[in-house]
Structure 1
Amino acid sequence: MSTMSHSLVRPAVRPAVAQPRAVRSGAAGVRLTRRGRAVVLLAAVVVMLAVVVFWSAGSVASPESGAAEATTVVTVGTGQTLWGIAADLAADGDVRSTMREIERLNALESSMLVAGQRLRVPQG
């Protein structure tokens, strides 16, 4: 019987040597840190806000001169309601539109009135 011996020969392992990367001509490849990304984001937000403020700063006034509405001041008496005041003033019988006009003229949030309150009402 013959004996065969196998010897495993391993090649020598060379340590990896860092190869220098080739630098592309033109762009050197910019890397941003976390702080750099935050600064770029903040700058973009500031520019966007400046653009929005610039666009919204335009005048919304009309070229025509406005005429003041003819109004009268009425003092609310005890037990009077906005409906009652509007009904007295509504020449065409449309009480609801007169109520809305009184609310608009006085910037009322509700139809609740207090005795002694002074209201501007359209002159009829």
Structure 2
Amino acid sequence: MLFCLLLAVAGGLFTLVAVPGQAADPPAPAPVLIVQPGDTLWDIATRLSGSRGRDATMEEIRRLNHLDGYSVDAGQRLTLPRRAEAG
């Protein structure tokens, strides 16, 4: 009886050790937008703002891209807030 109990416990421990854990899915890469000729940070934030608001979106874009000012250049890659979709 004791032998069966020990065998069951050992089998359970082996199962726990042998089964690999499931890691969380890696986060999706942040969306990126390529600035087009004529685009301004104001325009980009307006297109992406949704319910969050343009000003808050613009400040988050500045923070994510380490921008000191409010100007962007055509061809520049901007990392966007995760909840924003480039349009």
Structure 1 residue 119 and structure 2 residue 63: aligned?
no
- In structure 1, C-alpha distance between the alignment counterparts of 2:43 and 2:37, rounded to whole Å: 12
CA distance in 2: counterparts of 1:114 and 1:74, whole angstroms = 12
Q: Which consecutive unaligned segments of at least 5 residues does structure 1 have?
A: 1-67
Q: Which has the larger radius of gyration?
A: 1
> Is 1:95 matched with 2:42?
no
Q: CA deviation at 1:93?
A: 5.4
Structure 2 gap ranges (5+): 1-26
Q: For residues 27-42 of structure 1, what are the structure 2 equivalents within 5 Å?
A: none
- Normalised by the length of structure 1, the TM-score is 0.43
- Tell me, in whole angstroms, the C-alpha distance in 1 between the residues paired with 2:28 and 2:62: 14
Indicate the structure whose relative CO is greater, using CA pairs within 8 Å and at least 6 residues apart: 2
CA contact (8 A) 1:82 1:111 kept: yes
Aligned-CA RMSD value: 2.0
4+ residue stretches of structure 1 with deviation over 4 A?
none
